[in-house]
Every structure is written in C-alpha cells, then in structure tokens.
Amino acid sequence: MTATTDGSTGAMPPRAAAASDTAGTTPETAGVHHTAVDAVRRATDFLLAQQDPQGWWKGDLETNVTMDAEDLLLRQFLGILDEATLRASALHVRGEQRPDGTWATFFGGPGELSTTIEAYVALRLAGDRPDAPHMARASAWIRARGGIAEARVFTRIWLALFGWWKWEDLPELPPELLYFPKWFPLNIYNFGCWARQTIVPLTVVSAKRPVRPAPFPLDELHTDKDRPNPPKPLAPPTTWDGLFQRLDKVVRGYRTVAVRGLRTAALKYATRWIVERQENDGCWGGIQPPAVYSVIALHLMGYDLQHPVMRAGLESLDRYAVWRQDGARMIEACQSPVWDTCLAAIALVDAGVPADHPQLVRAADWMLGEEIVRPGDWAVRRPQLPPGGWAFEFHNDNYPDIDDTAEVALALRRVRHRDPERVDRAIGRAVRWNLGMQSRNGGWGAFDVDNTSPFPDRLPFCDFGEVIDPPSADVTAHVVEMLAVEGLAHDPRTRRGIDWLLGQQEPDGSWFGRWGVNYIYGTGSVVPALTAAGFPGSHPAIRRAVGWLQTVQNEDGGWGEDLRSYQDAARWSGRGASTASQTGWALMALLAAGERDSRAVERGVEWLAATQREDGSWDEPHFTGTGFPWDFSINYHLYRQVFPLTALGRYLHGEPFAKKPFPEVEGG
C-alpha cells in the first residue's frame, strides 16, 4: 500500500478530485478528463512511493557499456579487480550486445566502434574466448571498420595503458598547458567543466605514459598484423583540422626538449589541482570519468592505494555501481538526485498534491540542504559574484549548474515550507547567481560564462564529444521561466535572454535541445518559458512552435524523437517512436500555448493514459537525455515518470503560476 497526497492510502489528490467535475464539457472531452484523473492518481502514488526517506528522488542514469569497461580496466590497471565485480560487470556488458555483435551508445542505435572495442576488451578480461561466436562477431565487425586504429583517442588511451596501442601514436597533452593564462587560447578554463576535469588528470597520464603488462594480446582487433598502428594522413594545412594536427606535431617535438624542472612543476601543479577539487565524499565533480582518470593520475604521481585521497576516490567509484536483481552490475556515469528531486516536486505539485504535503516539505528541506554557498571553478570568470546555486549530483560543490539552480528555485517556489524566509533567501541567492552567470550574447550555458571558444573542439585529443559549454535554448528557457516566476520578466537581463531565445528558433518553429533529445525537448522548454514571461499564445513564435509540434505528432497520439536528429535533423527532427517523457514535453508546450482543448493535446493525453502501466509508471527503453549531442546519450529512468505526470497535471489544473502580459508582444 502506498502513501498518497493526503497522507492516507488510496485517496485521490484533493485538486485532482475537485477537477473531476466535468460539467459543461462534451462527452468526448469528459472521457479524456476522467482518463487523465485516473492516470494522475496512479502516477502520483507511484512517484511518492519512490522517495527516499531523506527526501530525495533518484532514478538510474543509464548510458553505455564504456562506463563498465573502463571501470574494469581501471581496476585491472591498479591490480584490484576482483572476480565478483568482473563477473557481474561482464553479465551486464554481454546483455547489452546487439545481434550483429556490436554495442550501441543508445537503445535502438547503430553499433559504435569505440564502444564495441571497449566492451570486447572487458569481456576478454572476464575470460570470454576470442573464438566464441559472440566475440568473433564483434571482432569481425571491428576489423571491417578499420580496427583499433579508427577508434577514438580515449579508447586508444585505455589500450595504451596495457601496451595494446603505442603512446607515440596518440596526440600529446602536456601538463604545461595548465600554465596558460586565462586570456590565452586553449587555457584550461576555455574547456567545459566536464572536459576540464578530465583533461587535467590526462595531462599527467600523457606525460607519464604508463604501461602495465597486457593480460592477453588483441591482434584480432587490428587490420594489419605487420603494422598495427598505421599513421593517418594529415588534413590540408589550410583547414582548422590540418592546423591543429600540425600543432600536435610541434607539441610532440616539445616533449623531447621539455625543461625537466618545468615539466616536474607542471605535474605537481596538475596533481594539486586534482586534489583540491576532490569532493567531500571522494568523487570529482560527481561524475565517473574524471574520477577514473584522477585516480590513475594520482597513482602515477606516487599516491598509494591506502592514501586517504585514493581510498576516498575508490570508494566513490563504488557508489556509481547499480546492482541488478539478476546479479548484473551497471556503472552510472553520474547520479542525478538534485535534478530528479526538483523535477519530481514540480510534477507532484502540478499534479494536485497539496503544497504543504509532508513529502514535499521533506524534499524542500533536502534541496535547501544541498545549496552550494562557496565559490567553485565558475568564479575564475566571475570572481566578484557571490555563490548560490545547486549542482546535479549528491556531492559537487565545485560545479553548481545553472539549469539545476533554475529548476530547484521553481520547485521550492511551489512548496509551502514552514520557513518561507529561508526559502526566499535561498531563491534570492539563486536568482542573483544565475543572473551573474549570463553570457554576453544573452543566453545561459550549463556551468560557465561565455564558454564559447572555437579552439578546444579542434584539438586532436578532443574527439570524445562536446568539450565547450555555450548557451543553449533549454537552459536559457529554464532560467527565463524562473526569473519570470520571481517577478523579473521585464528585467533587462531577462529581456536579453528572451531576445536570444527568439533568435534561436528554427525555421520550422522548433528549438534545438542541448541537454535532452532534441527539438521536442528544446521546444518543450522554451514555450512554457515564453508564456511564463507573459507572451500570449497568439505570438508568432509560439504559433510556429505549436504548428511544428502538431506536424510531428505520431499517429498513435504520442511524440518521440530519435537521437539521430543530432546528426540528421532534416530526417529525424521530431521523429521517432513515441515515449512518455517526450510526449510530456510536447504536451507541456502545447498546454502553455493555450491548446488544452485541441485534439492534439487530447490525443497525447490518451496515449499517456493508454501506455501507463498498472503500477502507475511508464516503460521507456529509449534514451531521451543528452550528455554530448549524439556522442553520449542518457536514459534518465525518472524522466518517464516526472514529465508525463507534469503534463497530465497541467492538463487538469492549468499552468502553475499566474502570468502577466509582456507589453511589447501582447496580442501577438
């Protein structure tokens, strides 16, 4: 039996019960309404039951098997790989293999070379024989696509650690780059925070070039046994790629003449930089990849496994493991409790849960306790800005993010807390910090200000995905919505953000989604923000967005978008199998635009109700979250719950906040 919104069991939320009065509606509309009421009740009960006693929610964060493979390779490198971990991780990796022998980076996606290589190596560690049918299929596919030589740089770094690839055939990443001043191109703060946290420890690894004895050969993954590491031709010198490839050759030459004292000092500086950014729980930035490389770097710099920094780091890595009932072990790239909790709170209140419900107050208490009140790396570009904001993870004081801060403020504003002054102060700090993090063009990035340099992406080393953090429509929209709710819709800084958003609208009426898939996510973020700021549903930008959403609605009534839209927008924008989360985003936009009584909305509501499971949840194997567009995709397991519930709640109860018209656009 699960607790419901009034603290009892099995009772309909008070607002939902009141909304069940369908007088004045047509029989068809009344049927949809009753269907939505029932779906909201069941979804609310399910979501409330998922809350941790401390007040937070957290769904699994599923990515791809490179997380699992690199976790095993790290443990093999350090000499701490145990049989139980190896067996459980291999069980998960085998379960993710596709019939053609490959591994993909998202559900239903194509086989990906680097991912398949790393998964193959992980299974070799687990004792799977190269001539086993599933392994032979994988190695044949790898060879057909050029073998290890065509893999991304990061994959070849892992292989170089065991002598399966030559360090000399990898791009150079000298630790001296940490001395570049902040105004200099390619200084470390020109990289996005996730890339920065990874690159600094990799400068140590690149300088040290360690090799551990390989537990087995990998000849079957090379296409040329006599010369397994063939050099690649350079791009023309008149291109950016050609210029940076030749710059890499210069840097390689520097290695042979590097002043020993300068190299030693740079390595010590990098080591200090890494240690200073270790969080209280031992992690780095709350995400797994920087933690993995930081542990390797510190070990190479003389930190033994019993050193407190190393012990804490290794313990933090264990917390990324999700153990499944079948005995399999999956590694999360990071954990999302702050993000999940604020979205869950928004969904529950919008669905009709009383604002002072004990579970919502507990969630608010937990979020208030997670506020970050000390400077982090963002202060390099904003040294005078007082701190105030939230990160994504349990422990990540160095890198609060603008998106979480906006959404937490929106969630806290919905809850009737017993200490409203404390809430006001926290939201006030969040507003001040987010305003201070606005980029020059009027938009907001996720972590940094004006992180738009074109140079980091050009480095031969950076072929693993997005390495800069420019403003995006989805983050900017969430900030604009938060500012509008706080009464700042007419503030010049908000106006600049709105102008930037209007300038980013695609010709078809959609917006690009940086942190969610993709145009449906961007559009589902921007339209509610514009209407919260007072834009009428008749505004041309909103009408174009509504028209686009209507044209991409699936025949079954839902919405979906495949990750391939990041590579081929013409074919895949707004196109894909219907999913609960993406249908929720589309409905949130349409409802904000005043389309509640449209047939498109009714069909979307009907699809959500029809696909809801008996326990009140939705099934969603598709990946609808984004780490790096196309290169790194995420299945947030709570998205399938919070966004449908938010949409259904707004269908029943309307938008959560009263809106004031935006004078310049009133009437369209």
pLDDT > 70? residue 252? no
Please report where in the chains the tokens 């950014």 appear, as a residue.
Answer: 277
Beta bridge partners of 401: 390
**Mean of all residue pLDDT scores within the chain:** 91
* Interatomic CA distance for residues 607 and 601, integer angstroms: 10
Instruction: Please tell me whether residue 295 adopts helix, strand or coil conformation.
Output: helix
Kind plus residue range of the DSSP H or E element containing 323 = strand 321-323
Beta bridge partners of 390: 401
Band of pLDDT at residue 13, cut at 50, 70 and 90? very low
pLDDT > 70? residue 243? no
Token output for 452: 């738009």
* Interatomic CA distance for residues 200 and 297, integer angstroms: 9
Per residue in 81-123, pLDDT (tens digit) is 999 999 999 999 999 999 999 999 999 999 999 999 999 999 9
pLDDT > 50? residue 15? no
* Interatomic CA distance for residues 52 and 257, integer angstroms: 56
631 backbone dihedrals φ, ψ, rounded to 5°: -75, -30
Token output for 58: 């957290």
In three state form, how does the secondary structure of 156-173 look?
HHHHHCCCCCCHHHCCCC
Among the residue ranges 67-71, 493-497, 615-619, 655-659, the one predicted with the least confidence is 655-659
Looking at the chain, how many residues does it have?
A: 668
- DSSP structure class, residue 659: -
Q: Is 340 in contact with 642 (CB distance < 8 Å)?
A: yes
Residue 351 confidence (pLDDT): 97
Amino acid, res. 385: L
Which residues, including other chains, have CB under 8 Å from residue 271's CB and lie 6 or more apart?
204, 297, 298, 301
266-268-270 Cα angle (round to 5): 70
Q: Is 401 in contact with 382 (CB distance < 8 Å)?
A: no
Q: Is 656 in contact with 546 (CB distance < 8 Å)?
A: no
Amino acid, res. 636: Y
Per residue in 621-649, pLDDT (tens digit) is 999 999 999 999 999 999 999 999 999 99
658 backbone dihedrals φ, ψ, rounded to 5°: -65, 145
Considering all CA atoms of the chain, what is the largest pairwise distance in Å, rounded to the nearest integer? Answer: 83
* Interatomic CA distance for residues 384 and 377, integer angstroms: 13
pTM across the whole model:
0.91
Q: At what angle do helices 473-485 and 519-532 cross, to 10 degrees?
A: 20
Pairing relation of β-strands 625-628 and 632-636? Answer: antiparallel
Catalytic-role residue among 403, 404, 469, 474: 403
Instruction: Please tell me whether residue 628 adopts helix, strand or coil conformation.
Output: strand
Over its C-alpha atoms, the chain yields an Rg (Å, rounded) of: 25
Q: Tell me which of 244 and 576 has the higher pLDDT.
A: 576
Q: Is 646 in contact with 588 (CB distance < 8 Å)?
A: yes
Token output for 635: 């299945």
Per residue in 509-563, pLDDT (tens digit) is 999 999 999 999 999 999 999 999 999 999 999 999 999 999 999 999 999 999 9
Per residue in 599-610, pLDDT (tens digit) is 999 999 999 999
Per residue in 272-325, pLDDT (tens digit) is 999 999 999 999 999 998 999 999 999 999 999 999 999 999 999 999 999 999
* Interatomic CA distance for residues 323 and 329, integer angstroms: 5
- DSSP structure class, residue 191: S
Fold assignment, 62-331: Glycosyltransferase (1.50.10)
Please report where in the chains the tokens 């010709």 appear, as a residue.
Answer: 507
Beta bridge partners of 546: none
Band of pLDDT at residue 419, cut at 50, 70 and 90? very high
pLDDT > 90? residue 473? yes
Catalytic residue list contains 128: no
Q: Is 245 in contact with 235 (CB distance < 8 Å)?
A: yes
Band of pLDDT at residue 26, cut at 50, 70 and 90? low
CA nearest neighbour of 460 among 177, 240, 297: 240
Band of pLDDT at residue 21, cut at 50, 70 and 90? very low
* Interatomic CA distance for residues 79 and 74, integer angstroms: 8
426 backbone dihedrals φ, ψ, rounded to 5°: -65, -45
Residue 457 confidence (pLDDT): 78
pLDDT > 60? residue 611? yes
Please report where in the chains the tokens 């419900």 appear, as a residue.
Answer: 357
* Interatomic CA distance for residues 344 and 479, integer angstroms: 18
Could you tell me what percent of the chain has a pLDDT over 90?
82
Compute the average pLDDT of residues 433-455: 95
Token output for 389: 């904001």
CA distances (Å), origin 607, targets 39, 553, 600: 11, 11, 11
Residue 375 confidence (pLDDT): 94
Q: Is 517 in contact with 563 (CB distance < 8 Å)?
A: yes
Q: Is 64 in contact with 105 (CB distance < 8 Å)?
A: yes
* Interatomic CA distance for residues 539 and 548, integer angstroms: 14
Residue 233 confidence (pLDDT): 73
Residue 236 confidence (pLDDT): 76
Per residue in 152-204, pLDDT (tens digit) is 999 999 999 999 999 998 988 899 999 999 888 889 999 999 999 999 999 99
Residue 258 confidence (pLDDT): 72
Q: Is 359 in contact with 51 (CB distance < 8 Å)?
A: yes
Residue 459 confidence (pLDDT): 75
Please state the separation of Cα 524 from the chain's center in Å.
17
